[in-house]
Amino acid sequence: MQVSFTVAVAGASGYAGGEVLRLLLNHPDAEIGALTAHASAGQRLGEHHPHLVPLADRVLQATSADVLAGHDVVVLALPHGASGEISAALDAAGSDALVLDCGADHRLESASDWEQFYGGGSHGHPGAWPYGMPELLRAETGDRQRENLRTASRIAVPGCNVSAVTLALQPGVATGVVDASDVVAVLAVGYTGAGKSYRPHLLAGEAIGSLAPYGVAGTHRHVPEIEQNLRVAGAQTVRLSFTPVLAPVSRGILATVTAPLATGASAGGVRAAWEQHYADEPFVHLLPEGTWPTTAMVTGSNAALVQVAVDERAGRVVALCALDNLGKGTAGAAVQSMNLALGLQESTGLSTVGVAP
């Protein structure tokens, strides 16, 4: 017998909230409850997401613990720094809902990293929320993070760029075939990754026909989260140079990640490490040799497509990952983690099929 559950989405007018709703509309067990927003409260959802036709006439409520409490699941798709306050209020109200935070408030284990990269405010509970990347290998225990998610009531959904870099490189870190003390990551990122607020450099007139770097020279907020993941996967020392570049597409990330080939490792050993690591993963796929991932392959899906090669001349491993920043990068990861926490099949309501061209 199917058992349904109710889901409230805070921040429903934003890109991440809208994508969560799109996925939930295709989830056989989910019933969509309260939809909330801040500045958009009182408006119809269709004013912000006209593509969500079944929900277009729903009116956005103001975000508060009172509105969100009483649901089985609460998804927080809020700006960084806002989720901690709401989740604390839900705790104070005695809510036993499964809470998934799509923001950064509960991802970082280090309070000092939060202070440096997010500029103060409440850090919540450092390291207390299980991390919503089921595929992440935990070197300390030898299992994947999905085992921790099966009993979770609070889940921190990863950053989109973080997922792309981590999924690209973690097999090499876990098996020791790469040297994580010199990791270089350059990412092409769709404009939805910059959020929905109106800023001059995000206007079409500025973006179309232009590539624009941002968060350069170690200043991007995802740096400590990537480093944290690579340490979890087994790296003793992590040194990361990370440069994202806004590309004139709506959605998608293509991450190119390189690191030195470890002493004694071979090109054949590198390929074998990636093959073994992702052999049983439902959403992360290693492409055939010579086939390179593109963002068009994954648009609208929960797939992450990976390729790896060895640059013999440079002595470096080159790993690439393409994913949809709103799909596997955010909303898809939230739904995948939700499924695990609720005891459902991990892939329920999710697809590896993209919508290209």
Catalytic residues: 160
Closest CA to 37 of 70, 2, 68: 68
What letter would DSSP give residue 297?
G
Q: What is the DSSP code string of 39-104?
A: TTTTSBGGGT-TT-GGGTTPBPEEP-HHHHTTSSEEEE---TTTHHHHHHHHHHTT---EEEE-SS
> H helices within the chain, ranges in order?
15-25, 65-68, 83-92, 111-118, 146-149, 160-175, 204-207, 223-232, 267-277, 332-341
In whole angstroms, what is the distance from residue 50 CA to residue 107 CA? 31
Closest CA to 208 of 246, 248, 251: 248
Output helix, strand, coil percentages for the chain, rounded to the nearest 5: 30, 20, 45
